[in-house]
């Protein structure tokens, strides 16, 4: 009897050792994704692939079983996550690293595949991969520790197509036992530094190799390192609900010294509360003054970081504008567009139903994004004939007409959009551009002010206001707006040049 009890206790001990805490320590699973080649972007991102490979190698050294995906399509990403879910066991440590473009929609953050077709905000939820959904699914499989490291706080081409989206990423409502880190503060964006690795990953790899640090301490030290190296222009965001200690590299038990504080104090608590998005520029734009009188009817427009119809890349063909205002205009791109798969699909829909207003509007967006403004205007014309109260189509036609120099028609469109939807930030931005190109600098300032009052981080309104201020005689104030806008989005100068504005 005694022997039987001893054997039973021994078996129970072995079973507990195999299925208890050791599984959390020994069963480490990671999915690492780097997306760099987005057809909608002007050029491939430089950092994600190198960052992905280096993070994967470090995780392997730390005992993780790692799957790596580079330039993943939506189907590839979904299958990779399905494989990840299938590997999760109770008590597992599961880590997801993502570098690429990310968009927030409905207060959730989405990782964007390279083949995403995003023209309106609903497309984000259709083609993107929700970070919250991923963490919830991992949690439902019993993972003990869940870690998400997201380097996607970049300004991306998709956000310019619909302005209801905010820049940067949204806070995560994550299950218990989760540690999430973004490379920048909530709703904040940073530009790639032009090097082979992002600043975030450089600092992360330094700290993840330090033994005896809990994961929270590792990410806090990373946050301090990034903040110091960027002179506080980039401050990563962390959220933690970990219920147990976890270390990437267990060591001897000797506590490592923290990074030198310099001018930045280390957090007093293991995990700081999420902080508001830091300013990404050296000099913050002044708050727009309150409107002392109604904005003039010819003066209202909003900015374009989330422009529904983005400017064409500098090498995209453009049709000859009616008043020759668009730079580097080229002959109609109809022949080149005939082979575009998206346009082909929309043409098929319209062949079956010429009054398919959704297909007309979306084809107009595609044409405009490729510089075929005259074709875009025709599609927006048809959209508005079917639904004269379509404020999005009115705003987009206003913008396209402005680019090609049809300024009177553009002003009429923007005014109608704002009559139907007062304080419509997109139409305020578009009308500001109309007034700027028309030489009505005071009206342009009023429009850009109104747009910035609604969203102070609208880069195109900030840049446009700077140009308008300079033309109105306030050279120094204008220079501040322009410098801040360029710091937030280095491509803003080229964007405005594509509108025929210098």
- Point out the domain boundary residue: 206, 240, 274: 240
Confidence (pLDDT) at 161: 65
Confidence (pLDDT) at 173: 82
- Point out the domain boundary residue: 177, 205, 240: 240
Q: Answer whether residue 256 is part of any domain.
A: no
Q: Can you read off the two tokens belonging to residue 162?
A: 């619909």
Q: Answer whether residue 355 is part of any domain.
A: yes
Confidence (pLDDT) at 138: 95
Q: Answer whether residue 302 is part of any domain.
A: no
CATH number, domain with residue 396: 1.25.40.10
Q: Over its length of 502 residues, how does the chain's per-residue pLDDT go in tens digits?
A: 444 444 444 454 444 444 333 333 458 999 999 999 988 777 788 899 999 999 999 999 999 999 999 999 999 999 999 999 999 999 999 999 999 999 888 788 999 999 988 877 778 888 999 999 999 999 999 999 999 999 998 877 776 666 545 567 888 888 889 999 999 988 788 776 666 789 999 999 989 988 888 999 999 999 999 998 888 888 999 999 988 889 998 765 555 555 433 333 333 333 333 333 333 333 333 333 333 333 333 333 333 333 434 443 333 333 333 333 333 434 344 556 767 777 887 888 899 999 988 888 878 877 887 788 899 999 999 999 999 998 889 998 998 999 999 999 999 999 999 999 888 888 899 999 999 999 999 999 999 999 898 777 678 899 999 999 999 999 999 999 999 988 877 778 888 988 888 8
Please list the helix, strand and coil fractions of the chain in percent, rounded to the nearest 5, in that order: 45, 10, 45
Q: Is 402 exposed, middle or buried (0-12, 13-18, 19+ CB in 10 A)?
A: buried
Q: Answer whether residue 155 is part of any domain.
A: yes
CB neighbours of 223 closer than 8 A, spacing ≥ 6?
181, 235, 236, 238, 267, 272
- Point out the domain boundary residue: 213, 240, 267: 240
Confidence (pLDDT) at 257: 52
Q: Answer whether residue 259 is part of any domain.
A: no
What ranges make up the beta strands (E) of 113-196?
129-130, 145-151, 178-182
Which residue in 114, 146, 107, 147 sits closest to 128, CA to CA? 114
Is the domain of 121 the same as that of 233? yes
Is the domain of 221 the same as that of 88? yes
How do 129-130 and 145-151 pair as beta strands?
A: unpaired
Confidence (pLDDT) at 275: 36
Q: Is 313 exposed, middle or buried (0-12, 13-18, 19+ CB in 10 A)?
A: middle
Helix axes 373-386, 357-369, angle to 10 degrees: 160
pTM of the model: 0.52
CB neighbours of 169 closer than 8 A, spacing ≥ 6?
102, 104, 109, 150, 152, 153, 182, 184, 186, 187, 237
Is the Cβ–Cβ distance between 366 and 335 less than 8 Å? no
Q: Answer whether residue 448 is part of any domain.
A: yes
Using DSSP's 3-state secondary structure scheme, residue 34 falls into strand
Taking CA atoms, 12 is separated from 20, 89, 423, in Å, by 11, 20, 68
Q: Can you read off the two tokens belonging to residue 78?
A: 């979904």
Confidence (pLDDT) at 466: 95
From the DSSP assignment, how many helices (H) and strands (E) are in the chain? 19, 9
Q: Answer whether residue 250 is part of any domain.
A: no
CA distance linking residue 38 with residue 103, whole number of Å: 14
Q: Is 101 exposed, middle or buried (0-12, 13-18, 19+ CB in 10 A)?
A: buried
CATH number, domain with residue 118: 3.40.50.1460
CB neighbours of 438 closer than 8 A, spacing ≥ 6?
298, 407, 411
Q: Answer whether residue 300 is part of any domain.
A: no
CA distance linking residue 500 with residue 406, whole number of Å: 12
Question: How many domains does one find in the chain?
Answer: 2
Is the domain of 80 the same as that of 225? yes
Range of the domain at 189: 20-240
Which residue in 378, 417, 385 sits closest to 398, CA to CA? 417
Taking CA atoms, 499 is separated from 299, 311, 437, 477, in Å, by 18, 8, 9, 23
CB neighbours of 61 closer than 8 A, spacing ≥ 6?
none
């Amino acid at each position: 009897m005694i022997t039987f009890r001893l054997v039973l206790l021994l078996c129970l001990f072995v079973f507990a050792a195999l299925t208890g805490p050791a599984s959390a320590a020994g069963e480490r699973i990671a999915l690492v994704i780097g997306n760099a080649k987005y057809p909608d972007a002007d050029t491939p991102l430089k950092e994600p692939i190198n960052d992905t490979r280096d993070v994967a190698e470090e995780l392997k050294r730390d005992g993780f079983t790692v799957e790596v995906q580079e330039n993943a399509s939506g189907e590839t990403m979904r299958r990779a996550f399905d494989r990840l879910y299938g590997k999760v066991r109770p008590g597992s440590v599961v880590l997801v690293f993502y570098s690429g473009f990310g968009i927030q929609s409905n207060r959730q953050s989405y990782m964007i595949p390279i083949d995403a077709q995003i023209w309106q905000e609903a497309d984000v939820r259709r083609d993107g991969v929700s970070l919250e959904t991923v963490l919830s699914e991992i949690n439902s499989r019993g993972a003990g520790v869940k870690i998400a490291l997201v380097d996607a706080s970049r300004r991306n081409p998709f956000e310019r197509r619909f302005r209801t989206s905010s820049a940067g990423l949204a806070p995560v409502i994550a299950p218990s036992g989760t540690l999430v880190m973004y490379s920048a503060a909530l709703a904040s964006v940073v530009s790639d530094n032009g090097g082979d690795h992002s600043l975030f990953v450089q600092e992360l790899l330094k700290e993840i190799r330090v033994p005896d640090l809990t994961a929270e301490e590792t990410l806090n030290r990373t946050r301090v390192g990034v903040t110091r190296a960027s002179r506080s222009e980039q401050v990563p965001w962390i959220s933690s609900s970990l219920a147990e200690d976890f270390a990437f590299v267990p060591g001897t038990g000797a506590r490592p010294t923290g990074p030198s504080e310099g001018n930045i104090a280390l957090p007093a608590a293991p995990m700081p509360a999420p902080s508001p998005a830091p300013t990404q520029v050296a000099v913050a734009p002044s708050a727009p003054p309150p409107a002392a009188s109604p904005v003039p009817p010819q003066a209202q427009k909003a900015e374009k970081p989330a422009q529904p119809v983005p400017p064409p890349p500098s090498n995209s063909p453009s049709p000859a504008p009616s008043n020759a205002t668009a730079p580097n205009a080229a002959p109609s791109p109809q022949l080149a567009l005939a082979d575009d798969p998206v346009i082909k699909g929309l043409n098929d829909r319209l062949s079956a139903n010429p009054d398919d207003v959704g297909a007309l509007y979306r084809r107009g967006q595609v044409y405009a994004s490729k510089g075929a403004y005259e074709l875009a205007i025709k599609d927006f014309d048809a959209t508005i004939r079917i639904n004269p109260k379509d404020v999005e189509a009115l705003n987009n036609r206003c913008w396209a007409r402005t680019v090609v120099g049809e300024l009177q028609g553009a002003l009429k469109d923007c005014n109608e959009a704002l009559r139907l939807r007062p304080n419509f930030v997109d139409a305020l931005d578009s009308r500001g551009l109309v007034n700027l190109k028309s030489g009505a600098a005071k009206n342009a300032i009023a429009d850009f002010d109104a747009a910035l009052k609604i969203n102070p981080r609208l880069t195109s309104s900030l840049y446009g206001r700077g140009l308008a201020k300079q033309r109105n005689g306030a050279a120094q104030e204008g220079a501040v707006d322009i410098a801040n806008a360029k710091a937030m989005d280095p491509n803003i100068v080229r964007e405005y040049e594509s509108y025929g504005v210098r």
